[in-house]
């Protein structure tokens, strides 16, 4: 089952420009966020794996990188965007350190973050947008099922000025351009999202 993200969500994820001054809610990079991830999609995961997602941010992508990636996509499409993103210097790493059972996609070890942007919110909080190439198993890479055409993972995280944050993640996502509407469209392989609850932030060792 495929699901389109709303235009509002697409705008937040694709057009967040980043590199505004950090709000009071975030320390300087590097820092670590930990969230309790709840799978609300129609794709099942091994029992016991609605657990802690750890996100280490080591830097933010400049606005020029955002614009360059968008230009590549508009000129050459999703495959070129994926290739360009994979060449970006890592901006951090995310993982499920407590993952249990089979782990063909290396969730326990984790994977690099290729794009991270930051916006200061009007209330003094912070919003972080993350985009990266999706972890795929060797079987998926070799056999190329339909899910192979959904190669991106996207996240939006909001950290308030005080208290714990919240966010949402979209796993297997396809980025398309609707010529009739003249806009970028995000399409998920599965319905629903991964909710990120009780997000904490702490400074990390450099």
* Nearest in space to 156 (alpha carbons), one of 125, 116, 128, 189: 128
Q: Cα separation of 196 and 51, whole Å?
A: 10
Task: Give the domain extent around 127.
Answer: 3-203
SS (H, E, C) the chain: CCEECCHHHHHHHHHCCCCCCCCCCCCCCCEEEEEEEEECCCCCCCCCCCCEEEEEECCCCCHHHHHHHHHHHHHHCHHHHHHHHHCCCCCEEEECCCCCCCCCCCCCCCEECCEEEEEECCCCCEEEEEEEECCCCHHHHHHCCHHHHCCEEEEEEEECCCCCEEEEEEEEEEEEEECCCCEEEEEECCCCCEEEEEEEEEECCC
Q: Cα separation of 14 and 129, whole Å?
A: 9
The pair of three-digit structure tokens given for residue 9, joined into one six-digit string? 């969500």
In tens digits, the chain (206 residues) has pLDDT values of 455 555 444 545 554 655 555 555 688 999 999 999 988 887 766 554 458 999 999 999 988 898 899 889 989 999 999 999 999 999 999 999 988 888 888 889 999 999 999 988 888 899 999 999 998 889 999 999 999 999 999 999 999 988 899 999 988 899 888 788 777 788 888 877 889 999 999 998 87
* Number of structural domains the chain divides into: 1
Q: Cα separation of 149 and 141, whole Å?
A: 10
Q: Cα separation of 198 and 205, whole Å?
A: 22
Torsional sign, CA 18, 169, 31, 133: negative
pTM score of the predicted model: 0.86
Cβ-based neighbours of 76, under 8 Å, separated by 6 or more: none
* Other beta carbons within 10 Å of 153: 21
């Amino acid at each position: 089952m495929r699901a389109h993200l709303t235009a509002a969500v697409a705008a937040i994820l694709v057009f967040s420009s980043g590199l505004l001054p950090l709000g009071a809610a975030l320390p300087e990079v590097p820092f670590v966020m930990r969230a309790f991830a709840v799978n609300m999609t129609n794709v099942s995961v091994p029992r016991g794996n609605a657990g802690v997602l750890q996100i280490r941010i080591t830097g933010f992508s400049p606005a020029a990188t955002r614009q360059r990636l968008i230009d590549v996509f508009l000129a050459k499409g999703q495959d070129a965007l994926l290739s360009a993103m994979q060449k970006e210097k890592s901006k951090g790493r995310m993982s499920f350190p407590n993952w249990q059972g089979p782990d063909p996609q290396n969730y326990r070890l984790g994977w690099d973050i290729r794009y991270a942007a930051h916006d200061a919110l009007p209330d003094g909080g912070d919003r972080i947008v993350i985009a990266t190439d999706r972890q795929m198993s060797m079987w998926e890479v070799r056999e190329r099922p339909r899910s192979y055409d959904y190669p991106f993972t996207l996240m939006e995280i909001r950290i308030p000025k005080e208290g714990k944050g919240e966010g949402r993640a979209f796993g297997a996502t396809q980025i398309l351009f609707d010529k009739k509407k003249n806009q970028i469209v995000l399409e998920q392989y599965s319905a629903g999202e991964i909710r990120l609850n009780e997000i904490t932030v702490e400074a990390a060792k450099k």
